C-alpha cells in the first residue's frame, strides 16, 4: 500500500478511572467522534467519511479480531500465536462520526475486561499517507495505555448502548436509538409528573376553586337578580303597551272591543313594533272618541263599518274579529 499507512494506537497514559460492570460491553467505541482524530502522542488523522469505513468493513465480509496488545499486528507476522479474545461482527457510524462495533467476546476476553485486567481498547486502522484520512479498521487490541480518547471497556454502559427495546422507546415517547440513560430520565419525569398531579389533587389551587356553600350562595344571587330584571322588563313592557293602547283609543285608530286582542299581539315577538307602525299609519275607525265613556251598546254579531275597517287593517276575518269582540 504505497499511499496507505497502518496506525497502532497504544501509547501514553491511561485515561479516567472506569466504573465497574458485571459483563463486557456489547458495543465498543473504535474511533472517537469528530472529523479531527487526535492521539495523545500528538498524531492526527481525519475521519470525514465514517460511512465509508463502515462500507469497507461490510464489503470485506470479514469480522475484525480483538486481541491483547495488538498481537495480530506484532506477533502474527512473526508466526507467533496471536489469539483473539473477541470479534467485531458489525460496525455503526453514530453521532459526531464516531465508529462503534458490535462485539462477541469469548470467555477469556470477557474475564479480562470484567476483572479490569484490561480497561481500554486500541484500534488499528489504515489511512492515506498524504491526507491522513482514515480508510478502514484492521483490528483492535486490549490495552492499558490507549492513544485515542475512547470509552473505557469496563465502564458502565450508558449513553452509547443501542440495545434499548424499540417498543419501550416508543412508549416513552423517545426518538429511535434512545439510550438507557434517556429512558431512565423519561421514566423519572413520568414519576415526577404523576406526583405533581397527585399533589395538585390533594391541595387544589384556591384561585381556581371555591367552597360549595359560597358557590351556591353566589348562584342564588345571580338567579334572583335575573328574575328581578325579567320582572322589571315585563313591567316596563306592560306600561308601554298600556300607554300605546290608550293613545290608539284616543286617536280612534282602534276600538275598545279590540283592546285585549291588540295587547296580546303586542306581547308577541316584534308585536309591539308592528303595533306602533299600525298606530302611526292606520286610519281612524272611531269618529266620536267621547263615546268611549258612555255605556257600550248591546252586543251584536253584526259588524259596523268601523269594525270592518279594523278587520281589513289587521288582516282578520269577520268571524275572528267577532270572537275577540
In the structure, what pLDDT confidence band is assigned to residue 108 with cuts at 50, 70 and 90? very high
233, 157: one domain: no
Is the pLDDT assigned to residue 241 strictly greater than 70? yes
Range list of β-strands (E), 69-175: 86-93, 99-105, 120-128, 134-143
In a domain, 240, yes or no: yes
- Beta bridge partners of residue 44, listed in sequence order: 38
| Among 142, 162, 182, residue at a domain's last position | 162
In a domain, 183, yes or no: no
Task: Find cell 286610519 and name the residue.
Answer: 283
pLDDT (0 to 100) of residue 288 = 53
Q: Quick check: 143 and 121 in contact, CB under 8 A?
A: yes
Lowest mean pLDDT among 101-110, 136-145, 257-266: 257-266
232, 151: one domain: no
In a domain, 198, yes or no: no
11, 134: one domain: yes
Distance, CA of 5 to CA of 14 (rounded, Å): 25
Q: How does pLDDT run across 32-78, given as a tens digit for each residue?
A: 989 998 888 888 899 999 999 999 999 999 999 999 888 888 888 88
Cα angle value 41/45/46 (rounded, 5°) = 155
In the structure, what pLDDT confidence band is assigned to residue 169 with cuts at 50, 70 and 90? confident
State the Rg of the chain over Cα.
Answer: 50
140, 265: one domain: no
17, 152: one domain: yes
Is the pLDDT assigned to residue 10 strictly greater than 80? no
pLDDT (0 to 100) of residue 157 = 39
154, 234: one domain: no
Distance, CA of 4 to CA of 278 (rounded, Å): 109
pLDDT (0 to 100) of residue 272 = 81
- Determine what percent of the chain is predicted with pLDDT higher than 70: 78
82, 153: one domain: yes
Q: Quick check: 27 and 57 in contact, CB under 8 A?
A: no
96, 14: one domain: yes
Strands 27-31, 99-105: pairing kind: antiparallel
Distance, CA of 94 to CA of 173 (rounded, Å): 21
Averaged over 2-28, what is the pLDDT? 55
Distance of CA 278 to the CA centre of its chain: 62
Q: How does pLDDT run across 109-162, given as a tens digit for each residue?
A: 999 999 889 989 889 999 998 899 999 998 999 988 888 877 666 544 333 444
Q: Quick check: 98 and 31 in contact, CB under 8 A?
A: yes
Range of the structural domain that residue 269 is part of: 223-324
Of 10 and 128, more confident: 128
- Determine what percent of the chain is predicted with pLDDT higher than 90: 22
Closest by Cα among 263, 259, 256, 274 to 237: 263
12, 112: one domain: yes
In a domain, 63, yes or no: yes
In a domain, 232, yes or no: yes
| Among 138, 162, 186, residue at a domain's last position | 162
Task: Find cell 485515542 and name the residue.
Answer: 148
What cell does 236 get? Answer: 316596563
Number of domains present in the structure of the chain: 2
What cell does 211 get? Answer: 367552597
In the structure, what pLDDT confidence band is assigned to residue 320 with cuts at 50, 70 and 90? confident
Amino acid at each position: 500500500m504505497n499511499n496507505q499507512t497502518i496506525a497502532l494506537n497504544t501509547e501514553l497514559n491511561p485515561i479516567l478511572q472506569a466504573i465497574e460492570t458485571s459483563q463486557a460491553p456489547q458495543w465498543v467505541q473504535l474511533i472517537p467522534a469528530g472529523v479531527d482524530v487526535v492521539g495523545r502522542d500528538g498524531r492526527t488523522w481525519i475521519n470525514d467519511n465514517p460511512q465509508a469505513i463502515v462500507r469497507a468493513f461490510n464489503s470485506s465480509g470479514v469480522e475484525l479480531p480483538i486481541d491483547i496488545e495488538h498481537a495480530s499486528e506484532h506477533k502474527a507476522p512473526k508466526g507467533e500465536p496471536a489469539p483473539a479474545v473477541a470479534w467485531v461482527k458489525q460496525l455503526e457510524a453514530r453521532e459526531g462520526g464516531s465508529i462503534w462495533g458490535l462485539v462477541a467476546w469469548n470467555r477469556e476476553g470477557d474475564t479480562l475486561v470484567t476483572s479490569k485486567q484490561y480497561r481500554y481498547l486500541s484500534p488499528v486502522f489504515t489511512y492515506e499517507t498524504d491526507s491522513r484520512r482514515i480508510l478502514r479498521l484492521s483490528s483492535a487490541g486490549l490495552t492499558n495505555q490507549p492513544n485515542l480518547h475512547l470509552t473505557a471497556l469496563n465502564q458502565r454502559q450508558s449513553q452509547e448502548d443501542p440495545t434499548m427495546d424499540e417498543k419501550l422507546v416508543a412508549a416513552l415517547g423517545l426518538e429511535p436509538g434512545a439510550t438507557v440513560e434517556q429512558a431512565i430520565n423519561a421514566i423519572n419525569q413520568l414519576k415526577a409528573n404523576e406526583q405533581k398531579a397527585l399533589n395538585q389533587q390533594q391541595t387544589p389551587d384556591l384561585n381556581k376553586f371555591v367552597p360549595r356553600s359560597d358557590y351556591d350562595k353566589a348562584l342564588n344571587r345571580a338567579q334572583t337578580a335575573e328574575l328581578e330584571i325579567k320582572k322589571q322588563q315585563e313591567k316596563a313592557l306592560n306600561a308601554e303597551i298600556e300607554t300605546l293602547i290608550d293613545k290608539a283609543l284616543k286617536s280612534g285608530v282602534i276600538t275598545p272591543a279590540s283592546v285585549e286582542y291588540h295587547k296580546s299581539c303586542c306581547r308577541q315577538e316584534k308585536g309591539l313594533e308592528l303595533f306602533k307602525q299600525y298606530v302611526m299609519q292606520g286610519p281612524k275607525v272611531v269618529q266620536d272618541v267621547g263615546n268611549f265613556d258612555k255605556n257600550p251598546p248591546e252586543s251584536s254579531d253584526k259588524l259596523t263599518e268601523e269594525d270592518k275597517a279594523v278587520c281589513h287593517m289587521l288582516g282578520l276575518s269577520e268571524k275572528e274579529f267577532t270572537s275577540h269582540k
